[in-house]
Amino acid sequence: MAIQKSSSIRNLLQSLRAASFSSMIANDHRFTSQAYSSATTQPSGYSGDDEDADVNWDKLGFGLTQTDYMYVMSCCKDRRFLKGRLCRYANIELSPSAGGVYEGMKANRTQDGRILLFRADQNAGRMRHGAERMCMPSPSIDQFIDAVKETVSANKRWIPPPGKGSLYVRPMILGTGPILGLAPAPEYTFLVYVSPVGYYFK
């Protein structure tokens, strides 16, 4: 019964893609999201790449620690995500009615200095599946993996030493265009940010 209800809701959402109300909002420039435009400064180079982050790794818990860069990529409804960019980690502006899906993964540093990601393609696949159920566009698996790698590389100084924790990676797709009602958002933003974390339980 729950599966049938979920399928019915998804079909209803998809049938509303061409609704005149959604089209009106999507074509009205007053409602354009600033989530992407407010973070369009492309860093010319990764500052402090060779410096260690100012973190006491021995006291690192599982919580948000602001790092240097995040990855942002936008698209409009019924379009594909195009090339995104790295920008400084900062707040983004969103409509109060925005919705979204997210993934979570980790990057780890090895004893010989390598940086490892585990099964990023599976995270990408889950995000695409979740986005499809929410009637949202999603990056391709290659776009997802490239964005994650670029963000991790730009923030590599924040990766804890071996045995001290991990770099938590949070990819997200947000409906950054406003919509009031049962219909897809007129605009979407994909972003990736990271934070060094310790063990969830100590």
Please report, for the domain that includes residue 66, its CATH number: 3.30.470.10
Sign, CA dihedral 91-96-98-102, equals positive
DSSP state of 178: -
Residue 10 within a domain: yes
| Residue 104, SS3 per DSSP | coil
| Residues of the chain with confidence (pLDDT) below 50 | 1-3, 5-6, 9, 12-34, 36-38, 40-44
Q: For position 179, what pLDDT does the model report? A: 77
In a domain, 202, yes or no: no
The pLDDT, as a whole number, for residue 71 is 95
Asked whether residue 163 is domain-assigned, the answer is: yes
190 falls within a domain: yes
CB-side neighbour CA atoms (13 Å) of 183: 21
The rounded distance, in Å, linking the Cα atoms of 105 and 168 is 6
Q: Give the SS3 label for residue 15.
A: helix
Tokens 């979920």, located at residue = 6
User: Count of domains in the chain?
Assistant: 1
pLDDT at residue 32, as a whole number: 42
Q: What pLDDT is stored for residue 12 in this prediction? A: 46
What is the per-residue pLDDT across 59-78, written as a single tens digit (0 to 9) for each? 999 888 999 999 999 887 66
Instruction: Determine the Cα–Cα distance for residues 139 and 27; give it in Å rounded to an integer.
Output: 23
Domain that holds residue 188: 2-197
85 assigned to some structural domain: yes
β-bridge mates for residue 101, sequence order: 173
Going along the chain, which residue ranges are E strands?
A: 69-76, 85-88, 100-102, 105-109, 115-117, 166-175, 187-197
- Find, among 193, 201, 187, the residue nearest to 100 by Cα: 187
Report how far residue 68's alpha carbon sits from residue 194's, in angstroms, rounded to the nearest whole number.
9
In a domain? residue 31? yes
Q: Does 169 fall in a domain?
A: yes
Q: What's the rounded Cα separation, in Å, for the pair 148 and 122?
A: 13
Q: Please check whether residue 54 lies inside any domain of the structure.
A: yes
